[in-house]
Structure 1
Amino acid sequence: MGRRGVLRAAAGPAPVATPRDRTGVVRTVLRSPVGATSAVLLCLLVALAVFAPLLWGDRAAAIDTDALQQGPSPAHLLGTDQLGRDIFFRVLVATRLTIGLALLATVIGVAAGLVLGSAPSVLPRWAGRVVTSAVNIAVAFPGLLLALFFAVIFGTGTIGAVLAIAFAITPSFARLTQTLTASVAGRDFIAAARVCGVGRFRLLTRHVLPNIAEPLVINSTLAAGSALTAFAGLSFLGIGVQAPSYDWGRLLGEGLNRIYLSPAPALGPAVAVVVAGLAFNLFGEAAASAAGRRPQPVRRTPPAPESIVDDSGGGLLTVRNLRVTFPGGISPVRGVSFTVHEGEMIGVVGESGSGKSLTALAVSRLVEHPGEVTADRLEFDGRPLAATPDRELGTKLAMVFQDPMTSFNPTRRIGRQLAEVSEVHQGMSRRDALAKAVDRLRAVRIPEPERRAGQYPHEFSGGMRQRAMIAMGLMGEPRLVIADEPTTALDVTVQREVLRLLARIRAERTAGVLLISHDITVVAQTCDRVLVMYAGRIVEELPTAELFTAARHPYTTALLAAVPDLDTDRDAPLAVIPGRPPEPGEIGPGCPFAPRCPLAGDRCRTEEPELTAMADGHRVACWRSESELTLAATGGPR
């Protein structure tokens, strides 16, 4: 199942917009004919709402008993009402109350929807399910039916109508917020924030909501148009605005009584409602269309993760019989045991889906429901991992994810994201934390750190983002650094800089390093020990100095054979491992590598071997004898 199954809360989430992207969206909206027209109409409505009562308020309220219920004329463009008041000026003056009440209802409805939609992210799981179920039930009812229902509850009048429209908007907006929140919750920068110990509420307000602001604003604009027409409908029915106040809906109801004699008194407010509703809706549609046409960055889907092994004594990180299980009895990590000592760098290699990264996530307490993590022993720095406070874990354990573009929050500056670690865990002031962030950027050799701290992630190159990600880990005092594919997609020169930086951190801080990689040669050049993972278990562990000479497991030798070197015959086809790794739900009895193994026998297909010692610090999980494995390894392609 791997990392995608753990961290992706929703398939195909919309890419997160940066501040520069949002500026481009506004320009695109204003350049389109529909967007420009709707923007002009909105500006006109706002101007009328502000200035119409000041300019024509007296004329709209003036009673003329000599001009009762007259039709359109040069003196009265839309005629007069039963008291002789000019309907045209009343329509203009009613703009303020109509627009104001519609926006007020929208604000209340959107705010309530945000609270209900984001509540599952901060509430206990059982309470979140109750809120989600209530929202799902409310969404099943049409909005107009909900508005009428709440209007009966709150009673007739302006306040009752505002609350009725607001609560009718709330369920759909809550559903939208839940969906968008779920799409962002699986991003790596959210996982990184959790590792740093950021609380649920702060995680929501600082990292989730800013990244879903664009679609929420667009849908709020559409909701305002719907609220305006719905409010006019309630007033038209007589359960909205009451005399002596008036809005477009009330004026429409009064004009409808004499529509067969003179349609103009009803036509004026009707046109106003239609034009205003179209202005809001068209602007929202134009903004949504512009956001959808925004060029999206090309993202690589991260490969599925992997895991680790060792069974030595106590150390900085001690793991015994670690299992990660998901519903249906699927266990992508099955009985992993290893130890990381201070100042030691351990490499973890294996194909995608072998359980490497999922093991690292379990150690970092990032496997969430419905995943279940169990272990006979899981200790960090001499304490049970479950008993280690989030603040302490976030300070002493640094996680470097493989894709720094998704690990950083794209809406926040790099310096502020680094500074947040010290603000949360060390209680530093905003200024001191930012100064420390600049110092850490300088420590990882990012040029002009003061200027770079004020930039956004998209303004960094890939190598600089990766170094900035390591700098975030150094904001605390890490005893253990977990680097999950830190050199993926980097060129060889940047890759060398990142690996040198990890080695320097290890030497200067005597920190343990857990390096997860697909590149077995990188692990061989930088690590002290290597753990080879396959199908959720460690199949071989040995010192890296002996990797190319003493590796014995058929899977390890096959991995080594698949790596070309200067002696590889360029005329011969490259070595490959036949078949494919089993899916977590496909693992049956016997050795999982047996279907691909040239040495597999009958016992290999019925019993799964355990790690057994072959030499000091060298263990192999295979039923073949040491002599058979040695003969096969030395007589193989390498």
Structure 2
Amino acid sequence: MANPRGAKWLGALRTPLGACSAALLALVIVLAVLAPILWQDKAFEIDTNAIAQGPSAAHWLGTDDLGRDILYRVLVATRLSIVLALLATALGVVTGLVLGTLPSVLPRPLARLVIAAVNIAVAFPGLLLVLFFSVIFGVGTHGAVLAVGFALAPAFARLAQTMAASVAGRDFVAAARISGVGRIRLLFRHILPNIGEPLVVNATIGAGGALLAFAGLSFLGIGVQAPEYDWGRILGEGLNGIYVNPAAALAPGVAVVLAGLAFNLVGETVAGVIGVRTGLRKLAPRPVVPARDDAGETPEDAVLVVENLQVAFPNPAGWTVPVRGVGFTVRAGEAIGVVGESGSGKSLTGLAVSRLVEAPAVVTADKLEFAGKPLLTTPERELRGLLGTSLAMVFQDPMTSFNPTRRIGRQLAEVAEQHQGLPRAKALERAVDRLRAVRIPAAERRARQYPHEFSGGMRQRAMIGMGLMGDPKLIIADEPTTALDVTVQRQLLRLLARTRAERDTAIILISHDIAVVSQTCERMLVMYAGRVVEDLPTAGTPRHPYTRALLAATLDLETDRDAPLAVIPGRPPEPDRVPTGCAFADRCPAVTDRCRLEDPALERVEPGHRVACWYPAPLSPPVKETVTAGGAE
């Protein structure tokens, strides 16, 4: 069986970034090892007949003031330049790590003193610190190594300090401290292992900065001294004759850039592997398919078709699948509500069908079609126009969805400019018209305002107006009435209903409030632990114990105020700890051994009604167990 970590590295090397970084790093290492062995003598060979000459067949990059071949000198200087940069980086990393982690083990007064010293050092530009330390440690190779290393330390210390503080406040560290683990052991056993990977990434990237700093010191004459030479010294010597022979200055400059680029690209590649960002869509195994969904035939006027939709996130132990085999169909002009407790997968399902779930998540489905287009296989370029004009997403908090630094009108107009090709003035006119359509007063004036100048309800209406900039066939509204008063909620729901009636637009309303869904939608999907457990008409009778429990916990004007509030005992399972069998079994009053062993399929119990339960409730329910009982009046 292949090693997962090795597979990630192999996948990283197959990407353009990984391949380029590996090639550049290999070139730098090979030259650092072999160049002094092969061309050391030629680099020091003086030719008095070819002093300060330009490029020729004998000397491809020309010669310096002593007639030495510049190409050979640049190649041989690779070893010293790279070694000195790595030494300075190692010094900076070690010093920064010590300064960054000391506050975790020192008494509070001393810790504050160290933190203050690091903050002061970080406030100074890096180049100024390098020059300052160069004055202290003196001119020469050793002084330059110390200067560059200590100049790198403050930034690395700040990073280590921040990350160590975030880990030091966690429960497992507190538990270890209470159990008597010493400060030093606490640092090495519990803190450093949890912050090691990002520190390695930043150290790799920092090596490029050290190389550049070292070249700068040698260029100024306070770094490597004769007879030794590195790229910075060669660059300084070649600058005097740059008008006669530009290659003498350009060659070491290009070498510094390429080597620094190699270090930085390697750091990005390492970050990709550690962050599980590289090649996941190719390497990710298809998550386990849950119980069968009996969705029936797809109607001809279907706008959205979803079959066995799954969303998986990587974790150190494998894959977490918070959306497990969701399947449903939305017809033109139909309004569907999606309800369930927090963490049931409602919003993630809406984001997945909108193609808004990004790596490292992996979205798979047997069928995922919008307006007849397969969303998982159609190229991104073709989908941009379709999703940008035919699908609208109304997010839960428009304050975080709108750009706070741009005017509302310009943000709406951008949709028409990007997806419909309208000129700037026409797009702004359409934006004002859409703001009028969603009943925003003084639309022209409001279009020139910023999001913070709108009330919560107006921002929600503006979000719907943004969706109407195109000709949406489907609007996905994710908790659009959250934190709004009942008057504004009613206005928004009426706006959605009017939009649906005028444009024959389908609506998916994601909500915690069954009463809101019952007033707005004809059909309801009840989600629990990442899958649909019941699909029923809002005027129908719920058959699943979870749906009945949600309805029992709904308050209305007829609720007995003297009776205790109905609650659902327990809590939903975590996405990575879904039990075998029915996920609701531990909270279900009618659970049997079969429920704990087998996961029921979502099957039809009557026309237009599907339930995922081994023992659905009978059709004749007690009072208040119809969906509309949640407050439809």
* Bin of the TM-score, shorter chain as denominator length: 0.5 to 0.7
2:346 equivalent in structure 1: 356
Report the Cα offset of residue 150 of structure 1: 5.8
Shift of residue 446, structure 1, vs aligned partner: 0.8
Question: CA, structure 1 residues 632+612, in 2 after alignment: closer, same or farther (shift >3 Å)?
Answer: farther
Amino acid at match of 2:539: A
**C-alpha offsets along residues 521-563 of structure 1, whole Å, 9 cap, x if unaligned?**
00011101000000011111111112xxx11211101111111
Q: Report the secondary structure of 2:509's partner residue.
A: strand
Aligned residues: 375
Deviation at 1:572, TM superposition (A): 2.6
CA gap of 1:417–1:613, structure 2 versus 1, over 3 A, is same
Q: What is the match of residue 396 of structure 1?
A: 390
Aligned counterparts of 1:567 and 1:632: Cα–Cα separation in 2: 11
Instruction: State the AA in 2 paired with 1:593.
Output: F
Residue 530 of structure 1, aligned match among 524, 548, 560: 524
**Corresponding letter in the other structure for 2:578:** I
Cα pair distance change 1:459/1:150, threshold 3 Å? farther
Scaled by the length of structure 1, the TM-score of the pair is 0.54
Tell whether 2:325 aligns with 1:335: yes
Amino acid of the structure 2 residue aligned with 1:322: L
Q: Indicate the percent of aligned positions where both proteins have the same amino acid.
A: 62
Contact 1:312-1:339 within 8 A present in 2 as well: no
TM-score by length of 2: 0.54
Q: Distance in 2 between matches of 1:395 and 1:531?
A: 26
Deviations, residues 5-32 of structure 1 (Å, cap 9, x unaligned): xxxxxxxxxxxxxxxxxxxxxxxxxxxx
Letter in 2 for 1:586: R
- Residue in 1 that maps onto 2:305: 318
Contact 2:337/2:521 (8 A) holds in 1: yes
Q: Is the CA contact 2:335–2:509 (under 8 Å) kept in the aligned structure 1? A: yes
Number of the residue aligned with 2:570: 579
Q: 1:624 to 1:420 in 2, by over 3 A?
A: same
Report the 3-state secondary structure (helix = DSSP H, G, I; strand = E; otherwise coil) of the residue aligned with 1:578: coil
Q: 1:325 to 1:138 in 2, by over 3 A?
A: closer
Q: Which residue of 1 aligns with 2:214?
A: 145
Which of 349, 357, 369 does residue 379 from structure 1 map onto?
A: 369
Looking at structure 2, the residues matched to 449 and 163 of structure 1 have their Cα atoms a distance apart, in angstroms, of 57
CA contact (8 A) 2:215 2:233 kept: no
Whether the 8 Å CA contact 1:320–1:335 is kept in 2: the answer is: yes
Q: Taking structure 1 as reference, are residues 594 and 431 closer, same or farther at Cα in structure 2, changes over 3 Å only?
A: same
Mean CA deviation greater in 311-320 or 622-631: 622-631
Say if 1:420 and 1:588 are closer, same or farther in 2 by CA, change over 3 A.
same
1:581 to 1:167, Cα distance in 2 relative to 1, 3 A: same
Q: Give the Cα–Cα distance (whole angstroms) in 2 for the partners of residues 625 and 452 of structure 1.
A: 52
Pick closer, same or farther for the CA change 1:592–1:629 going to 2, 3 Å.
farther
Aligned to 1:556: 547
Query: Superposition RMSD on alpha carbons, in Å?
Result: 3.6
Q: Deviations 1:45-69 (Å, cap 9, x if unpaired)? A: xxxxxxxxxxxxxxxxxxxxxxxxx
Task: Determine the structure 2 residue equivalent to 1:488.
Answer: 482
- The answer to whether the 8 A contact 1:551-1:633 is kept is no
CA contact (8 A) 2:310 2:323 kept: yes
* Structure 1 residue 329 displacement after superposition: 2.2
Equivalences for 1:51-70 in 2 at 5 Å? none
Could you say which structure has the greater relative contact order, defined with CA pairs below 8 angstroms and 6 or more residues apart? 1
**CA offset digits 1:466-515 (Å, max 9, x no partner):** 11111110111101111111111111111111111111110010010000
Are residues 1:611 and 2:602 paired? yes
Structure 2: distance between partners of 1:416 and 1:150 = 50
The aligned runs of 1:162-201 (5 Å cut-off) are none
Q: 2:581 aligns with which of 587, 590, 593?
A: 590
* Alignment partner, residue 113 of structure 1: none
Q: Report if aligned partners of 2:294, 2:604 keep a CA contact under 8 Å in 1.
A: no
Residues 336 and 138 (structure 1 numbering): CA distance in 2 closer, same or farther, change over 3 Å? closer
Distance, in Å, in 2 between the alignment partners of 1:360 and 1:312 is: 22
- Kindly indicate whether the alpha-carbon contact (under 8 Å) linking 1:436 and 1:475 is maintained by their aligned counterparts in 2: yes
| Alpha-carbon separation, structure 2, partners of 1:588 and 1:341 | 34
Match of 2:464 among 470, 484, 496: 470
| Secondary structure in structure 1 of the residue aligned to 2:439 | coil
Q: 1:627, CA displacement in angstroms?
A: 3.5
- Contact persistence 2:543–2:616 (CA under 8 A): no
Task: Give yes or no for contact 1:557–1:633 (8 Å, CA) kept in 2.
Answer: no
CA contact (8 A) 2:337 2:508 kept: yes
Sort the Cα spacing of 1:312 and 1:358 in 2 relative to 1 into closer, same or farther, 3 A.
Answer: farther
Alignment CA distance shift 1:138-1:602 (3 Å): closer
Q: Which residue of 2 aligns with 1:154?
A: 235
